[in-house]
Amino acid sequence: MQFIKPDVNIDIIGKRKIAFCASCVLILISILSLLFHGGPKYGVDFAGGTVIQVKFASSANIPDIKKGLTTLSLESASVQSFGEAGDNEFLIRTEQSEITEQGFSKKLQAALKTATGSDTEIRRVEMVGPQVGKDLREKALFAMFYALLFITIYISGRFELKWVISGVVAAALMGAVYLFSMLNLSIPFLIITALIVSLVLFWFLELKYAMGAIVALIHDVTITVGVFSIFDKEFSLPIIAALLTIIGYSLNDTIIVFDRIRENLRKYSKKPLEITINRSINETLSRTILTSLTTLVVVAALFVLGGGIIHDFAFALLVGILVGTYSSVYVASPILLAWQEFGKKR
């Protein structure tokens, strides 16, 4: 199935500077939002605490629910409606993680029934200790870092046949992460430092495909995290799973385009790189749009019909697929050209 004619020739590369400016603006807004909110808003999974899902037999309002929680010394808990308006379900979040003692559910049911006048069903109680939350947060960040690192090393080996150099880069980065971790740096700072070291190594070792891929992946993750920060949504383990999925999805698109560029560089070796890259992107544009549209339909169905449990997960995927499709066309491949242009000026 061809969504776009095979001989289409959209001047994508010619608009790369506009795209770079748009990406820089989005990344800047994301970073400013994170700074304004004091970093990502961690959920119970990472910050520690307890989340309780309750369902009322009839309508209840949040002030009455909070009044009932006050009788159990949970006055600092946040209450949020959950699911559809007629479901009468609410999520109660508290930083306290030691409230699930024997009989707690019955006490909570009684307190909420007294405050709201409605029968209450406790549907789930999840507790995570502060240390467990910290450990999960660190492991999640390391998982994302190593996913980015080894994927880009794979790309440099596959597209530039520099497997030995890729292996050396991997070993050097793992050693650097180990040494920096001995300095007791915070995990986010450690990951940012390691990514900067990665980009410097890719630059000096001329791993341009890896450079294009990792910049695009950092672009996708940063903007997705920024959108979550702007909408004040919580980061939990499912959201990390969504970010790793986005990395894989965006990378798949990037590899398809890189493959076509490599083929066309052999076929049209005498043509300028700008024309070859633009032709390659146009030749894969139909596949890129069709894949993105069909995936978006599925994820949109999950977002609308999937219920509250996977609502944020589907939202992260919606944002990530849109940003990832954009970056595979307007960020990853144009960086190859920017690399060559900068190399000529040096």
The pair of three-digit structure tokens given for residue 60, joined into one six-digit string? 């209840």
Place of tokens 């849109």: 322
The separation between the first and the last C-alpha atoms of the chain, rounded to the nearest angstrom, is 44
Work out the pLDDT band at 97, boundaries 50, 70, 90. low
DSSP per-residue codes, 55-104: EESS---HHHHHHHHHTTT-TT-EEEEESSGGG-EEEEEES------TTH
Domain ranges of the chain: 13-42+132-345, 49-128
Q: How far apart are CA 122 and CA 53, in angstroms?
A: 6
What's the mean per-residue pLDDT of the chain?
80
Calculate the dihedral angle through the C-alpha atoms of 8, 247, 340, 206, rounding to the nearest 10 degrees: -150
- pLDDT of residue 28 exceeding 90, the answer is yes
Asked if residue 287 has pLDDT above 80, the reply is yes
Mean pLDDT of 192-215: 79
Highest mean pLDDT among 96-100, 141-145, 229-233: 229-233
- Least confident piece of the model among 17-21, 121-125, 159-163, 292-296: 159-163
**Three-state SS for 53?**
strand
The mean pLDDT of 157-185, rounded to a whole number, is 73
Task: Judge whether residue 99 has pLDDT over 70.
Answer: no
Predicted confidence (pLDDT) at residue 159 exceeds the cutoff of 80: no
3-state SS class at 124: strand
Q: Fold for domain 13-42+132-345?
A: Multidrug efflux transporter AcrB transmembrane fold (1.20.1640)
Question: What pLDDT does residue 186 have?
Answer: 65
pLDDT > 90 in the chain, percent = 5
pLDDT at 193 over 90: no
192 pLDDT above the threshold of 80:
no
Q: Judge whether 13-42+132-345 and 49-128 match in fold.
A: no
The residue-averaged pLDDT of 47-54 equals 79
Is 80 exceeded by the pLDDT of residue 245? yes
Candidates 122, 30, 25, 21; CA nearest to 69 is 122
Do 90 and 80 meet the contact criterion of CB atoms below 8 Å apart? Answer: yes
Predicted pLDDT at 343: 62
Does the pLDDT value for residue 345 go beyond 60?
no
| 205-220 pLDDT per residue, tens | 778 888 888 888 888 8
Provide CATH code, domain 49-128.
Answer: 3.30.70.100
Distance CA 227, CA 266 (A): 40
Q: What is the pLDDT, as a whole number, of residue 71?
A: 80
Predicted confidence band at 119 (pLDDT cuts at 50, 70, 90)?
Answer: confident
